């Protein structure tokens, strides 16, 4: 039986690490929110970690994962309407997702760094 959508039955190589990054980001968010509500001492501890090289790396991975998930979700919405299901289109939209993810991540980090430093 042939699958309706070309993504069924196989997984993209980056899918599992990106899902893991989303989980790590959710844990960081659950740690950060109560710390922000608890007061300056707890908040400073979390911000200290998030400002470290490890924290920044985790936040960067989370940002990439979030934008990949967003862009690929839009791609899947198009597939749900029956658009772009031929092989050539799936490859083209796949690379479009990768490029859009990189551009959106870059924009978000540049905006964040400008806001943080300014």
| Structural domains in the chain, sorted by start | 15-117 (1.20.1300.10)
What's the whole-model pTM score?
Answer: 0.80
Each residue's pLDDT tens digit, 46-60: 999 999 999 999 999
Each residue's pLDDT tens digit, 49-106: 999 999 999 999 999 999 999 999 999 999 999 999 999 999 999 999 999 999 999 9
Apex CA 26: angle with CA 49 and CA 36, to 5°? 55
Q: Say how far apart CA 52 and CA 114 lie, in whole Å.
A: 18
């Amino acid at each position: 039986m042939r699958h309706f959508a070309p993504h069924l039955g196989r997984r993209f190589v980056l899918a599992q690490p990106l899902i893991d990054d989303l989980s790590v980001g959710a844990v960081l968010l659950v740690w950060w929110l109560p710390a922000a509500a608890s007061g300056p001492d707890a908040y400073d501890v979390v911000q200290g970690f998030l400002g470290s090289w490890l924290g920044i790396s985790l936040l960067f991975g989370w940002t990439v994962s979030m934008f990949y998930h967003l862009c690929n979700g839009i791609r899947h919405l198009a597939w749900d309407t029956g658009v772009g299901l031929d092989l050539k289109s799936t490859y083209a939209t796949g690379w479009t997702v990768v490029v859009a993810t990189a551009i959106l991540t870059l924009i978000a980090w540049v905006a964040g760094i400008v806001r943080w430093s300014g």
